[in-house]
Amino acid sequence: MGGLSELEAVLRLSLAFLLGAVLGLERETHDRPAGLRTFILVAVGSTLIMIVSIGLRDLYAGSTGVDPGRIAAQVVTGIGFLGAGTIMHEGPIVRGLTTAAGLWVVAAIGLAVGAGFYLVAAVTTALALLSLTVLARVERSYFGGKGQVIVNVLSSDVPGQLGRIATALGERGMDIKDIRMSPREDGLVEIELKVKAPPKDAMPGAMQALASLPGVKSTEYSG
């Protein structure tokens, strides 16, 4: 494997596994589209690609056109497609951007580990974890929690219903911040939407619009 021993390569892959697991576990506990296994696979795969790139450089030392960065750079392109799969768009709502960014960061961490930049990879993991945990709480406390209304909708679990609900709120100028869905065994689904607080006189009309949607059984709001 060129100038890199197999033992060192295994150690780098193992470190990538651990660092990917740290960030993946945080996403998994929040039930995000990409969780523990996905983050581990991205980190380990990126590390392996970098190791192979370095090995090819050493194997073909002196040859022209052998650039370890060229293969590794494709990881950045490829991770964009994977990250796009974690982003969900329903009407005015876009979710999964943080998870997509997390996948991009963990791919970079894997490349750093594969190149032997262990301290940089570890510090980046710590900073990313800080951003996903501590800063997330700060954001909710000082920004996200102010002027929010919680809208609860009980509806038939039919395709496109979430989009219709989001559209009904969006048409009334309501900015949806988060959505949680809890399917039930009776064919219904409980939908909780966190909405940036609109003018007080707008809520009754919004609730009436939601209640008039086909399949909606009940609506209520608080906050």
Which 3 state secondary structure label does DSSP give 192? strand
Tell me the one-letter amino acid at 175.
D
76: which 2 tokens? 């950045």
pLDDT score recorded for residue 91: 46
CA distances from 38 to 47, 98, 219 (A): 14, 14, 36
**b/e string for 101-121 if b means 16 or more Cβ within 10 A?**
ebbbbbbbbbbbbbbeeeeeb
Q: pLDDT per residue over 131-166, tens digit each?
A: 888 876 776 666 554 567 888 999 998 888 888 888
Q: What is the pLDDT of residues 37-72, one digit of tens each?
A: 889 999 999 999 899 888 877 766 666 665 666 776
In this predicted structure, what is the pLDDT of residue 55?
81
Amino acid making up residue 216: V
State yes or no: pLDDT of 92 exceeds 60. Answer: no
Is the model more confident about 188 or about 3? 188
The closest of 166, 188, 164 to 175, measured between CA atoms, is 166
Q: Specify the pLDDT at position 90.
A: 44
What tens digit of pLDDT does each residue of 166-183 get? 888 888 878 887 788 888
Confidence of residue 101 (pLDDT cuts 50, 70, 90): confident
Q: CA–CA separation, 115 vs 73, rounded Å?
A: 13
CA 96 to chain centre: 4
Is the CB of residue 147 less than 8 Å from the CB of residue 154? no
Reported confidence tier of residue 34, pLDDT bands at 50, 70, 90: low
In the predicted structure, residue 80 carries a pLDDT above the cut 80: no
Report d(CA 96, CA 48) in Å as an integer.
Answer: 26
What is the pLDDT at residue 195? 83
